[in-house]
Amino acid sequence: MNTYTIYTDGACTNNGKPNARAGWGAVMTNPQGDTLELAGPVPEAQEQTNSRAELLALVEALERCTQPAPITLHTDSEYIANACNGHLEAWKAKGWRKSDKKQPKHLDLWQRLDQLLQEKDVTVRWLRGHNGTLGNERADALATLGATGKTLRKRTKRLNEADKS
C-alpha cells in the first residue's frame, strides 16, 4: 500500500433546528496500513449543520495526512465531491461566488479544504451512503458519535506477517 485511503461523514441531530448538534467522523488508512478512526463534535460556537460536519470531516482527515503520498478520499456527499472535482475552481475564479452569485455556506471550511487540496495529491470520490461499504458505514457511526459531543482518536496498527502466526 502506498496511499492514504479515507472515508468521511457528517451527522446532525435536529438538522436545521435551534437544538441541532453536529459531528464528524473519519476512517483513515495510512500508507503502512495502520488505521486511524476520528470523531468529534462541530464546535458549539459554529453553525450546527450536517453540511458543516461533512466539510469538517474532510478537513480534519486531510490535515492528518503528513506523509507525502497520494490520498483517495471517499465521501457520501455528492455536493462536496462535485465541489472538490471542479466547482471549487469556478467559485474561486468568481471571487468565491457560486453560479447564483452567493458565497458557498461555510466559506471558511471551503477555503481550508481548497488549500489542503492544493498542497496534497488528493482524489475525491463520491460513493452512495448506507450501501454497506465498511469504511463509509464506520465513518457514519463515528460522525453520529461526534454529534453526541464525544471525541475519539483510535489508532490500530496493521499486523505484520510475523504477527499473524
β-strand pairing of 35-41 with 71-75: unpaired
Q: Which residues belong to the active site?
A: 9-10, 54, 76, 130, 140
Residue-wise DSSP of 3-56: SEEEEEEEEEETTTSTT-EEEEEEEEE-TTS-EEEEEEEPPTTS---HHHHHHH
152 close to 142: Cβ distance less than 8 angstroms = yes
Beta bridge partners of 40: 24
Angle at 86 between CA 22 and CA 26, to 5 degrees: 30
Please give the Cα distance from 44 to 40 (Å, whole number).
Answer: 11
